[in-house]
A = this chain, B = another copy of it.
Amino acid sequence: MIPRYSRPDMVAIWEPATKFRIWYEIEAHACDAQAELGVIPKENAEAVWKAKDVEFDVARIDEIEAVTKHDVIAFLTHLAEIIGNDQARFVHQGMTSSDVLDTTYNIQLTRAADILLADMDDLLDALKRRAFEHKMTLRIGRSHGIHAEPTTMGLTFARFYAEMDRNRLRLQLAREEIASGAISGAVGTFANIDPQVEAHVCSMMGLKPEPVSTQVIPRDRHAMFFATLGVIASSIENIAIEIRHMQRTEVLEAEEFFSKGQKGSSAMPHKRNPVLTENLTGLARLVRMSVIPAMENVALWHERDISHSSVERGIGPDTTVTLDFALTRLTQVIDKLVVYPDNMLANMNKFRGLVMSQRVLLALTQAGVSREDAYRLVQRNAMKVWEDGKDFKTELLADDEVTAALSPAEIEEKFDLGYHTKHVDTIFTRVFGEC
């Protein structure tokens, strides 16, 4: 977790105080269920709720853990200090530490997912708004970094929207995957605790009971969760790289918003660096690096070993905090991106109509010219543009062999940009359900 790439709400999920609060709620709900089953006295279950509004003393718990070398016991000891040793004696009965720890970890990931889903909603809003704003803003489409055919900036935003919308669905599924809890005892047999306790705790904490756990909740769920975050990060990188390209000096079709106060802007107006999207490129790598360890965590020995734990202490907070920051930063970038339609047009016209050469080629063949001849005609005019700086349409109109096949109006028509935008509405309707 890197402070400068962290937002407080997500950080809060991973703070000790939050963790202890969740532990407490799990234990208290478990006592309720145990009392309902007649396993422990009702008054002891009720007594646990006396700590409902107490803020646990993290330092005190750490102090106890330094002696007991066991975090759950330390917490329970502190809880007993609050509600009284006698009242506390049935807390945690029949449970194993992992019941609390694993269920808590999943609650934290679920809450993290909720924040990320909200982040994605904001991002989707921004992308949609900018897509409609620039629905018909013409721009050259590029394959291999080379001019191909015209497209629109709206379509660029629309495809980012569609991609992030898929990611939102993936994250929703990953959230469901991870929203399971287990209160099943030392090796998952419910030998010492009734499954109804698990059912009650899960219900109260917004989880589904894990159908079959061992000492732990199976880690394929977590692997899928972090893999999904890795895909989202890769999409962030995808958008970031588009913007970085748009901002490079020779292209300059857009710029990240640059606040007036930021030093150095106006004395070197050419030197506005796309540092936010470059940063997002790096953050994507940081998020993605959790994927393989999360997968390596799946193969635990028998009913559990604890090799996954240190990994999860790292990637749980680090990955969700970084992705939350990245999504939010990306939303700001999209929201405030300064788009330069004039530069887009200028870039498109950089080679004076040459990007239309394929359309002309096609028109010539459709007009009955042989493929070879059509190619030769296009080629000789294209070369005048490329080498001598002529205008492609002008040259075509002046080429008798071309005009023998195509009328001036037909040639003009090949340079009509509306040709390229005629299905933008179709695509928008597919993506947004409206256009």
Contact = CB atoms under 8 A, between A and B. Distances in A.
A75 B315 CA distance: 32
Interface string A282-305: 111110111111011111111111
A317 to B, nearest CB: 9
A142 interface: yes
A269 B314 contact: no
A237 interface: yes
A134 interface: no
Interface string A17-54: 00000000000000000000000000000000000000
B250 A303 contact: no
Nearest to A73: B263
A224 B170 contact: yes
A249 B305 contact: no
B303 A295 contact: no
A307 B241 CA distance: 10
A212 interface: yes
Contacts of A70: 263
Interface string A237-255: 1101110110111110000
A218 B385 CA distance: 34
Interface stretch (A102-110, A112-120, A397-405, A424-432): A424-432
A423 B2 contact: no
Contacts of A295: 230-231, 233-234, 288, 291
A141 B186 contact: yes
Contacts of A354: 268-270
B244 A145 contact: yes
A355 B270 contact: yes
Given A227-B291, A234-B295, A305 B267 contact: no
Given A187-B148, A250-B251, A266-B379, A282 B301 contact: no
B143 A245 contact: no
Given A189-B149, A301-B144, A310-B279, A227 B231 contact: yes
Nearest to A70: B263
B292 A291 contact: yes
Q: How many copies does the complex hold?
A: 4
Interface residues of A, number: 148
Given A269-B382, A310-B5, A310-B286, A189 B155 contact: yes
A302 B224 contact: no
B143 A273 contact: yes
A220 B167 contact: yes
A221 B313 CA distance: 29
A248 B146 contact: yes
Contacts of A163: 218, 220
Given A269-B383, A271-B146, A295-B230, A310 B2 contact: yes
A301 B243 CA distance: 10
Contacts of A167: 220
A189 B420 contact: yes
A145 B382 contact: no
A59 interface: no
7 contacts: A73-B263, A143-B302, A148-B271, A167-B220, A223-B230, A227-B228, A279-B309
Interface of A: 2, 4-5, 67-70, 73, 93-94, 140-151, 155, 158-159, 162-163, 166-167, 170, 173, 177, 185-192, 195, 209, 211-215, 218-221, 223-224, 227-228, 230-231, 233-235, 237-238, 240-242, 244-245, 247-251, 261-263, 266-275, 278-279, 281-286, 288-293, 295-311, 313-315, 318, 322, 347, 350-351, 354-355, 357-359, 361-362, 375, 378-379, 382-383, 385-386, 419-424, 426-427, 430-431
Closest 3 CB pairs of A and B: A141-B187, A145-B248, A144-B273
Given A241-B301, A244-B305, 16 more contacts: A142-B302, A144-B244, A146-B249, A148-B186, A148-B187, A150-B187, A150-B191, A158-B212, A162-B211, A173-B173, A224-B228, A227-B230, A231-B298, A275-B306, A284-B299, A291-B295
